[in-house]
Amino acid sequence: MVAFLWAGTSLAQTVKTYPTHWFTGMKWNQVQLLLHAPNLGQGKPTASIGYPGVSLRRVQTTESPNYLLLDVAIAPTAKAGTINIRISRQGQPATNVPFELKPRRKGMGQLYANGVNSTDLVYLIMPDRFANGNPANDRIAGYRDTICDRSNPSAHHGGDLQGVQQKLPYLKDLGATAIWLCPIVENDMPWQQEAAGAISGYHGYWITNHYEIDKRYGSAADYKSLITAAHQHGMKIVQDAVYNHVGNEHFLFRDKPFAAMFNDWPSYTGSNHREEALLSGYAATADKKQMLEGWFVPHLPDVNLRHPVMANFLIQNAIWCTEEFGIDGWRVDT
Ligand SMILES: [Ca+2]
Ligand SMILES: [Ca+2]
């Protein structure tokens, strides 16, 4: 059966879907899937889904030839399983893209998604700089930056999720009830020149893929293991979200579905960092625009949150991470 499904569908293995999967019984049940593969949007593509409780509402191509956007409705009756998305294009064999619906995580507000309040003692950890629990992941072949050097304050130092997990008893002993981790998703960026000198992305704020854990910090399984262990210690995990920018090696910037997903300028324009322009009724429109849409630094493209495709991408990623990993809260950057 599997062999039959996959016959003649070599492209299927190369189609990436964002989100990578979804869940049954979610309040957010109108999901926008971004499919990415070379020329996937070429040849007047059509798509179909034959899965009880799941209907395809809209298929859109993008400015890039390499994407398809599918709006999918998932009824409360839909059961967990693997949806087959069938894509037909002129002059091409049909492509079958598997998309999994996982059962919903149990225990929202009790076992996870507990939130953080003023009774919490939140301990902030920059995972690269805290504890190296696994020296085998200090350098990842194929990443754009493979330097790990504790003698260099601008380099990665090798800390990881296993290291945080090993130190949970210590953190509990300190009185921490919640741990806020600097971003742990992929930052596959080379070193960059900033005002203070050349620097690596050891801090995690140069995201290149919202759906991958940075391999220097570990795997998705390592993150889940840490979260489970933290919960067993009675501690919460707060994930760090970056909504102002992405790293310029992010696939959404390297191959933009729509140019307007980013705030662009005729020539490079940095933010004026005039936060007061957002609050003052007397602020100049130009100051407000430069504050909101100017880039943080040249290697961090400014995200246009008004663009519905970008907004959907980021909102769905936040819901997905909460459900997939069982985190308790969010810290929102910049
Ligand atoms: Ca390590
Ligand atoms: Ca901005």
pLDDT tens per residue across span 43-96: 999 999 999 999 999 999 999 999 999 999 999 999 999 999 999 999 999 999
- Give yes or no: residues 86 and 140 share one domain: no
Among the candidates 74, 102, 130, a domain finishes at 102
DSSP state of 80: S
Domain shared by 132 and 21, yes or no = no
Taking residues 180-196, what's their average pLDDT? 97
- Judge if 208 and 326 occupy the same domain: yes
Q: For tokens 């930056």, what's the residue?
A: 145
The answer to the question of residue 257 being in a domain is no
End-to-end CA distance of the chain: 49
* CA 173 to ligand 2 centroid distance, Å: 39
pLDDT value for 334: 86
Which residues hold their Cβ within 5 A of ligand 2, which is an ion? 244, 302
Which residue would you say has higher pLDDT here, 88 or 4? 88
Please tell me the distance between residue 74's alpha carbon and the centre of ligand 2 in angstroms. Answer: 32
Domain contains 165 = yes
Q: Which amino acid is at 257?
A: P
Q: Is 299 helix (H, G, I), strand (E, B) or coil?
A: coil
Same domain, 31 and 72: yes
- The reply to whether 126 and 226 lie within a common domain is yes
Q: Residue 212 above 90 pLDDT? A: yes
241 & 159 share domain: yes
Alpha carbon distance 32, 15 (integer Å): 15
The reply to whether 85 and 165 lie within a common domain is no
Round to whole Å and give the CA distance between 37 and 35: 7
What letter does residue 108 receive in the DSSP assignment? B
Looking at the structure, tell me whether residues 92 and 163 fall in a common domain. no
For 85, the domain range is 2-102
pTM, two decimals, is 0.94
User: What's the CA-to-centroid distance between 12 and ligand 2, angstroms?
Assistant: 35
What CATH number does the domain containing 82 carry? Answer: 2.60.40.10
In terms of domains, do 147 and 239 share one?
yes
176 and 310 belong to one structural domain: yes
Q: DSSP string covering 147-203, please?
A: -B-TT-TTSB----HHHHHHTHHHHHHHT--EEEEPP-EE-----EEETTEEE-STT
Q: Give the Cα-Cα-Cα angle 167, 168, 173 (nearest 5 degrees).
A: 100
DSSP single-letter state for residue 315: H
Residue 327 CB partners (closer than 8 Å, separation 6+): 112, 113, 227, 237, 238, 239, 321
Q: Is residue 16 part of a domain?
A: yes
Domain count, the chain: 2
Residue 324 has pLDDT above 90, yes or no: yes
